[in-house]
Protein backbone atom coordinates (compact mmCIF):
# COMPACT_ATOMS: atom_id res chain seq x y z
CA UNK A 1 0.00 0.00 0.00
CA UNK A 2 2.83 2.36 0.89
CA UNK A 3 4.51 1.67 -2.43
CA UNK A 4 1.26 2.35 -4.32
CA UNK A 5 0.84 5.67 -2.50
CA UNK A 6 4.43 6.61 -3.37
CA UNK A 7 3.79 5.84 -7.06
CA UNK A 8 0.54 7.82 -7.04
CA UNK A 9 2.26 10.73 -5.28
CA UNK A 10 5.09 10.65 -7.81
CA UNK A 11 2.57 10.76 -10.68
CA UNK A 12 0.76 13.69 -9.05
CA UNK A 13 4.04 15.57 -8.57
CA UNK A 14 5.03 14.96 -12.20
CA UNK A 15 1.58 16.10 -13.32
CA UNK A 16 1.77 19.30 -11.25
CA UNK A 17 5.29 19.96 -12.49
CA UNK A 18 4.05 19.63 -16.07
CA UNK A 19 1.14 22.01 -15.42
CA UNK A 20 3.47 24.61 -13.86
CA UNK A 21 5.97 24.19 -16.70
CA UNK A 22 3.23 24.54 -19.31
CA UNK A 23 1.91 27.70 -17.60
CA UNK A 24 5.38 29.20 -17.76
CA UNK A 25 6.08 28.14 -21.34
CA UNK A 26 2.66 28.91 -22.82
CA UNK A 27 3.15 32.73 -22.92
CA UNK A 28 6.68 32.25 -24.29
CA UNK A 29 5.48 29.95 -27.07
CA UNK A 30 2.67 32.38 -27.87
CA UNK A 31 5.07 35.34 -27.96
CA UNK A 32 7.52 33.52 -30.24
CA UNK A 33 4.86 32.42 -32.73
CA UNK A 34 3.16 35.82 -32.61
CA UNK A 35 6.45 37.54 -33.51
CA UNK A 36 6.97 35.23 -36.49
CA UNK A 37 3.45 35.85 -37.75
CA UNK A 38 3.61 39.60 -37.14
CA UNK A 39 6.79 39.79 -39.23
CA UNK A 40 5.08 38.01 -42.14
CA UNK A 41 2.06 40.34 -41.91
CA UNK A 42 4.28 43.43 -41.65
CA UNK A 43 6.26 42.44 -44.77
CA UNK A 44 3.08 42.04 -46.81
CA UNK A 45 1.51 45.22 -45.48
CA UNK A 46 4.74 47.09 -46.35
CA UNK A 47 4.42 45.82 -49.93
CA UNK A 48 0.80 47.00 -50.00
CA UNK A 49 1.91 50.42 -48.74
CA UNK A 50 4.61 50.62 -51.41
CA UNK A 51 2.05 49.80 -54.10
CA UNK A 52 -0.44 52.35 -52.69
CA UNK A 53 2.21 55.08 -52.70
CA UNK A 54 3.06 54.36 -56.33
CA UNK A 55 -0.65 54.33 -57.21
CA UNK A 56 -1.05 57.74 -55.57
CA UNK A 57 2.05 59.03 -57.39
CA UNK A 58 0.35 58.30 -60.70
CA UNK A 59 -3.33 58.92 -59.93
CA UNK A 60 -3.15 61.46 -57.03
CA UNK A 61 -5.24 59.25 -54.76
CA UNK A 62 -5.13 55.87 -53.03
CA UNK A 63 -7.38 52.93 -53.84
CA UNK A 64 -9.54 50.83 -51.52
CA UNK A 65 -9.77 48.04 -54.11
CA UNK A 66 -7.24 45.22 -54.05
CA UNK A 67 -8.27 44.33 -57.60
CA UNK A 68 -7.33 47.83 -58.78
CA UNK A 69 -4.08 47.77 -56.80
CA UNK A 70 -3.04 44.37 -58.13
CA UNK A 71 -3.94 45.33 -61.70
CA UNK A 72 -1.92 48.53 -61.32
CA UNK A 73 1.19 46.66 -60.13
CA UNK A 74 0.94 43.93 -62.77
CA UNK A 75 -0.02 45.94 -65.85
CA UNK A 76 0.72 49.65 -65.33
CA UNK A 77 3.91 51.68 -65.61
CA UNK A 78 5.47 54.80 -64.11
CA UNK A 79 7.00 57.61 -66.12
CA UNK A 80 10.50 58.93 -65.38
CA UNK A 81 12.76 61.58 -66.88
CA UNK A 82 16.40 61.29 -67.87
CA UNK A 83 18.33 64.52 -68.45
CA UNK A 84 21.54 64.71 -70.49
CA UNK A 85 23.66 67.72 -69.54
CA UNK A 86 23.00 70.30 -66.82
CA UNK A 87 20.06 72.69 -66.86
CA UNK A 88 22.19 75.06 -64.76
CA UNK A 89 24.64 75.40 -67.68
CA UNK A 90 23.13 78.35 -69.61
CA UNK A 91 25.54 77.93 -72.54
CA UNK A 92 24.66 74.26 -72.95
CA UNK A 93 20.98 75.09 -72.69
CA UNK A 94 21.33 77.83 -75.32
CA UNK A 95 23.10 75.44 -77.67
CA UNK A 96 20.42 72.82 -77.19
CA UNK A 97 22.85 70.38 -75.60
CA UNK A 98 20.62 69.72 -72.59
CA UNK A 99 18.02 67.13 -73.42
CA UNK A 100 15.34 65.52 -71.32
CA UNK A 101 13.92 62.16 -72.27
CA UNK A 102 10.85 60.55 -70.76
CA UNK A 103 10.66 56.80 -70.37
CA UNK A 104 8.36 54.29 -68.72
CA UNK A 105 9.13 51.38 -66.43
CA UNK A 106 6.73 48.62 -65.41
CA UNK A 107 5.48 49.20 -61.85
CA UNK A 108 6.37 45.69 -60.68
CA UNK A 109 9.97 46.17 -61.84
CA UNK A 110 10.65 49.50 -60.17
CA UNK A 111 8.87 50.18 -56.87
CA UNK A 112 9.79 47.23 -54.67
CA UNK A 113 13.14 46.82 -52.99
CA UNK A 114 13.16 43.08 -53.74
CA UNK A 115 12.19 40.74 -56.55
CA UNK A 116 8.40 40.61 -56.77
CA UNK A 117 6.61 37.95 -58.81
CA UNK A 118 3.04 38.20 -60.14
CA UNK A 119 2.06 35.37 -57.76
CA UNK A 120 3.32 37.38 -54.78
CA UNK A 121 1.36 40.44 -55.92
CA UNK A 122 -1.84 38.40 -56.27
CA UNK A 123 -1.44 37.41 -52.60
CA UNK A 124 -1.66 41.05 -51.44
CA UNK A 125 -5.23 40.75 -50.06
CA UNK A 126 -4.49 37.64 -47.96
CA UNK A 127 -3.27 37.95 -44.36
CA UNK A 128 -0.49 35.38 -43.81
CA UNK A 129 -1.40 32.52 -41.41
CA UNK A 130 -5.06 33.53 -41.39
CA UNK A 131 -6.66 30.79 -43.45
CA UNK A 132 -7.23 33.16 -46.42
CA UNK A 133 -8.74 36.02 -44.38
CA UNK A 134 -8.27 39.39 -46.11
CA UNK A 135 -6.70 42.66 -44.98
CA UNK A 136 -9.15 45.49 -44.30
CA UNK A 137 -8.35 48.16 -46.90
CA UNK A 138 -9.88 51.65 -46.97
CA UNK A 139 -9.04 54.83 -48.87
CA UNK A 140 -10.42 58.34 -49.10
CA UNK A 141 -9.58 61.89 -48.05
CA UNK A 142 -9.01 63.70 -44.78
CA UNK A 143 -9.37 67.43 -44.14
CA UNK A 144 -6.68 68.85 -41.85
CA UNK A 145 -7.28 71.59 -39.26
CA UNK A 146 -5.96 74.11 -41.76
CA UNK A 147 -8.54 73.01 -44.31
CA UNK A 148 -6.20 71.08 -46.58
CA UNK A 149 -7.74 67.96 -48.12
CA UNK A 150 -5.24 65.11 -48.33
CA UNK A 151 -5.59 61.56 -49.68
CA UNK A 152 -5.35 58.88 -46.98
CA UNK A 153 -5.53 55.10 -46.81
CA UNK A 154 -5.57 52.46 -44.11
CA UNK A 155 -4.75 48.75 -44.22
CA UNK A 156 -5.37 46.54 -41.17
CA UNK A 157 -4.91 42.95 -40.01
CA UNK A 158 -6.61 42.23 -36.64
CA UNK A 159 -4.77 39.84 -34.30
CA UNK A 160 -7.91 37.70 -34.08
CA UNK A 161 -7.56 36.84 -37.77
CA UNK A 162 -3.95 35.62 -37.85
CA UNK A 163 -3.48 34.39 -34.26
CA UNK A 164 -6.83 32.61 -33.94
CA UNK A 165 -5.36 29.09 -33.75
CA UNK A 166 -2.94 29.94 -30.91
CA UNK A 167 -3.63 29.92 -27.15
CA UNK A 168 -7.08 31.50 -26.74
CA UNK A 169 -6.45 33.07 -23.34
CA UNK A 170 -3.12 34.57 -24.42
CA UNK A 171 -4.85 36.07 -27.45
CA UNK A 172 -7.61 37.55 -25.28
CA UNK A 173 -4.98 39.02 -22.93
CA UNK A 174 -3.09 40.53 -25.86
CA UNK A 175 -6.19 42.15 -27.37
CA UNK A 176 -7.36 43.46 -23.98
CA UNK A 177 -3.92 44.97 -23.29
CA UNK A 178 -3.89 46.76 -26.65
CA UNK A 179 -7.36 48.17 -25.99
CA UNK A 180 -6.36 49.42 -22.53
CA UNK A 181 -3.37 51.16 -24.12
CA UNK A 182 -5.74 52.57 -26.78
CA UNK A 183 -3.74 50.86 -29.51
CA UNK A 184 -5.08 48.94 -32.47
CA UNK A 185 -5.26 45.19 -31.63
CA UNK A 186 -3.35 44.06 -34.68
CA UNK A 187 -1.05 45.33 -37.42
CA UNK A 188 -2.06 48.42 -39.37
CA UNK A 189 -0.64 51.10 -41.61
CA UNK A 190 -2.08 54.54 -42.28
CA UNK A 191 -5.34 55.97 -40.90
CA UNK A 192 -8.59 57.38 -42.21
CA UNK A 193 -9.03 60.05 -39.53
CA UNK A 194 -5.62 61.70 -39.64
CA UNK A 195 -2.65 62.35 -41.92
CA UNK A 196 -0.01 59.85 -40.76
CA UNK A 197 2.38 59.81 -43.75
CA UNK A 198 1.35 56.15 -44.13
CA UNK A 199 3.12 55.16 -40.89
CA UNK A 200 2.75 51.63 -39.56
CA UNK A 201 1.90 50.96 -35.90
CA UNK A 202 5.00 48.76 -35.61
CA UNK A 203 7.32 51.64 -36.54
**How many angstroms separate the CA atoms of 82 and 153, rounded?**
31
Q: Looking at the domain assignment, is residue 170 inside a domain?
A: yes
Q: How would you write the pLDDT of the chain (203 residues) with one tens digit per residue?
A: 666 666 666 666 666 655 554 565 678 899 999 999 999 999 999 999 999 999 999 999 999 999 999 999 999 999 887 766 666 666 655 666 667 778 888 999 999 988 899 999 999 999 999 999 999 999 999 998 888 999 999 999 999 999 999 999 999 999 999 999 999 999 999 999 988 889 999 99
Which residues, other chains included, contact 182 with Cβ-Cβ below 8 Å and sequence gap of 6+? none
Looking at the domain assignment, is residue 57 inside a domain? Answer: yes
Domain with 21 in it: 2-74+111-190
- CA distances (Å), 201 to each of 29, 46, 136, 154, in order? 23, 11, 15, 11
Residue 79 falls within a domain, yes or no?
Answer: no
Residue 101 lies in a domain: no
pTM for the full model?
Answer: 0.81
Closest CA to 69 of 79, 50, 55: 55
User: What's the domain count of the chain?
Assistant: 1
Amino acid sequence: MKKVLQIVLAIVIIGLAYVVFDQIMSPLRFEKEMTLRENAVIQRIKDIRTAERAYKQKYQNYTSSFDSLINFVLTDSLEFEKTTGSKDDSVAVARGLVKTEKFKVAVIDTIFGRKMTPEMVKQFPIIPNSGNQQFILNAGTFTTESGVVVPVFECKAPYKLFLADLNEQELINLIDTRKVLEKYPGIKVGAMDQATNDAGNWE
